[in-house]
Structure 1
Amino acid sequence: MKKLTLNLCLGLTVLLGGCVTQYSISEREMEQYLSKEIHFEVKQGNQLIGAQVRINDISVRLGEKPDTMSVSAATQVSITNPIYPLKAQLSASFEAKPWYDNATHSVYLRQLELVKVESTPKDIEKAISSATPQVMNYLRHFLESQPVYVLDTKDSNQALMAKMTESIQVVPGKLVLKFTK
């Protein structure tokens, strides 16, 4: 019985070792992680004059361009002032190169580039154009300094993947974790 158990374990190890060389994270998994873990809100000024920026929604597209992750963020902007208070929705799209940090078992973004900014309502675009660069800089810094995905080392499967991951690759629709051999 002991020999049978040992042979079974050895067989499973060889089978799994030969088959598992990568693991992938889908766009949806990344969006769920970002929605759950990332909370971005900035308030500046006071009740009379100020600004408030909050991300409402983040979407992810992987591999539309080689090794590139696209991140779109819907952002609520409120500017208070006694003359003309403004509320608008900004939609910003960024492209970046994701990278894996072995020490933190996390995926981060680098080389974040702003691709497009749109506002709703459209006629408010001129009024908020002076605040747009500052808002985009906040978003850029925030997205580059926060992980966009972290392997959960409390989960035994993900803990094993975290130890084995050597690099990542972006392919259409998913982020592939490449394991050491």
Structure 2
Amino acid sequence: MKLLSCMLPLTMLLLTGCVSQYSITEEELEGYLSDEIHFEVKEGNQLFGIEMRINNIDVELGHKADTMSVTADSVIKIKNPLVPFKANMKTTFEAEPWYDAQSHSVYLKQLTLVSIESDPKDIEKAVKQVAPQMMGFLTNFLETQPVYVLDTSESNQALIADMTKQIKVEPGKLKLIFDE
């Protein structure tokens, strides 16, 4: 019994030491977004409309202080009777990630559009005309959906989820902070 009482504090110390270094990598965020986030917009009617679908999302953490960069590869189709077209777009946003302790989720706020590129290039002018509407859809989507959720069905992440109070952006990772 004496051995058990000595081992318990040592075990807790070791567990606390392991847990205090937990972070979420860019690759984990990209994997979560690829598996969990499915963005598709269809607006309009038979003659006029916009369709947009995200195919791929890349994440960069810490290239600026407290900033997460999200680059989305999208396919856009514009329907109109005169000049319908289809294009591939690459949009890059910067945002501040924040942690919601109640839902154990990471969200984005203060999204800023950094760049838009399109292929083919000759329709870039037309894409830029509808870009504000499309970016509104995408911004609203990215600000209201979590970009990562800790899996509380897994015991280690459940413990981490209960202890995490906030996050800190570091190059290549989101560091989970356990005290305020």
Residue aligning to 1:126: 125
Residue by residue over 1:46-100, the C-alpha shift from the partner in whole angstroms, topping out at 9 and shown as x without a partner, is 2332110111110000000011100000111001122211000111101111100
| Match status 1:138 vs 2:123 | no
Take 1:106 and 1:15, find their aligned partners in 2: how far apart are those partners?
26
1:169 aligns with 2:153: no
For residues 19 and 91 of structure 1, the distance between their equivalents in structure 2, rounded to whole angstroms, comes to 38
RMSD: 1.5
Structure 2 unmatched runs, 5+ = none
Following superposition, the deviation at residue 3 of structure 1 comes to: 3.4
Give the structure 1 partner of residue 156 of structure 2. Answer: 157
Q: Return closer, same or farther for 1:42/1:19 CA change in 2, 3 Å cut-off.
A: closer
CA distance in 2: counterparts of 1:19 and 1:36, whole angstroms: 27
Tell me whether 1:20 sits opposite 2:29 in the alignment.
Answer: no
- Counterpart of 1:96, as a letter, is A
What's the offset of the Cα at 1:16?
2.5
Deviation at 1:19, TM superposition (A): 5.2
The letter for the 1-side match of 2:178 is F
The residue that corresponds to 1:81 in the other structure is 80
Distance in 2 between residues matched to 1:53 and 1:164, nearest whole Å = 39
Q: Is the 8 A contact 2:19 2:160 kept in 1?
A: no
Aligned residue-pair number: 180
- Aligned partner of 2:38 in structure 1 is 39
Match of 1:108 in 2: 107
Determine if the alignment matches structure 1 residue 95 to structure 2 residue 98: no
User: What is the rounded CA distance, in whole Å, between the counterparts of 2:25 and 2:41 in structure 1?
Assistant: 29
Q: CA deviation at 1:128?
A: 2.3
Give the 4+ runs in structure 1 shifted more than 4 A.
none
Amino acid at match of 1:26: T
Letter in 1 for 2:3: L
Task: Tell me how far 1:151 sits from its aligned partner.
Answer: 0.4
Contact 2:26-2:61 at 8 Å conserved across structures: yes
Structure 1 counterpart SS, 2:153: coil
TM-score, with length taken from structure 2: 0.94
**TM-score, normalization: structure 1?**
0.94
What is the CA distance between 1:18 and its match in structure 2?
4.5
Query: Residue 67 of structure 1 corresponds to which residue in structure 2?
Result: 66
8 Å contact kept, 1:30–1:60? yes
> Residues 114 and 51 of structure 1: is their aligned pair in 2 closer, same or farther, counting only changes over 3 Å?
same
1:111/1:3 Cα in 2 relative to 1: closer, same or farther (>3 Å)? Answer: same
